[in-house]
């Protein structure tokens, strides 16, 4: 009945190490991953929406986690990107600590309820420090998929 995170995270939506070292380039890099797999119809509009959302309030929730998300009609179906930064990125997080784990969520406007449930589910998972550490230490996309699927 619930949302299965693994179904939203094909291997091509996993990034073991972001090239970006700053907030906006990191968001762009993750949006590119969705664009490259045909999940969004117009990357410029999607990116504009994400950046406007970040201006309203940071999605850096603390504990080295950011959950950027956007609901817009240029998204074909709900999807997600998982990315990491070993050095951390200043994401203006609520605790002022650098962000190392990113879950970018994209969905059509009509899926507001699903997005809220997904954000809650990811937040609960990432509340577990051991889970966060294991995600940071995983050295393959398959390890990350396995970790998430066990939760």
Q: How far apart are CA 88 and CA 100, in angstroms?
A: 5
Q: What is the dihedral of CA 145, 13, 117, 46, to 10 degrees?
A: 170
Q: Which of the residues 13, 69, 71, 100 is marked catalytic?
A: 69
Residues contacting 103, CB < 8 A, separation 6+: 65, 66, 67, 80, 81, 82, 122
Residues contacting 105, CB < 8 A, separation 6+: 67, 68, 69, 70, 78, 79, 80, 115, 118, 119, 122
Identify whether the C-beta of residue 121 lies closer than 8 Å to the C-beta of residue 2. Answer: yes
**69 given a catalytic annotation:** yes
Active site residues: 69
């Amino acid at each position: 009945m619930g949302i299965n995170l693994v179904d939203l995270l094909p291997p091509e939506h996993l990034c073991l190490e972001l090239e970006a070292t700053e907030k906006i380039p990191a968001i762009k890099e993750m949006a590119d991953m969705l664009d490259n797999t045909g999940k969004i119809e117009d990357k410029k509009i999607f990116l504009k929406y994400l950046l406007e959302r970040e201006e309203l309030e940071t999605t850096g929730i603390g504990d080295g986690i950011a959950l950027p998300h956007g609901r817009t009609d240029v998204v074909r179906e709900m999807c997600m990107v998982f990315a990491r930064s070993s050095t951390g990125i200043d994401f203006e997080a609520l605790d002022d600590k650098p962000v190392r784990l990113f879950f970018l969520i994209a969905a059509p406007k009509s899926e507001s309820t699903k997005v809220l449930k997904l954000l809650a589910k990811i937040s609960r998972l990432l509340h577990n420090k051991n889970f966060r550490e294991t995600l940071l230490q995983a050295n393959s996309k398959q390890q990350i998929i396995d970790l998430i699927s066990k939760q």
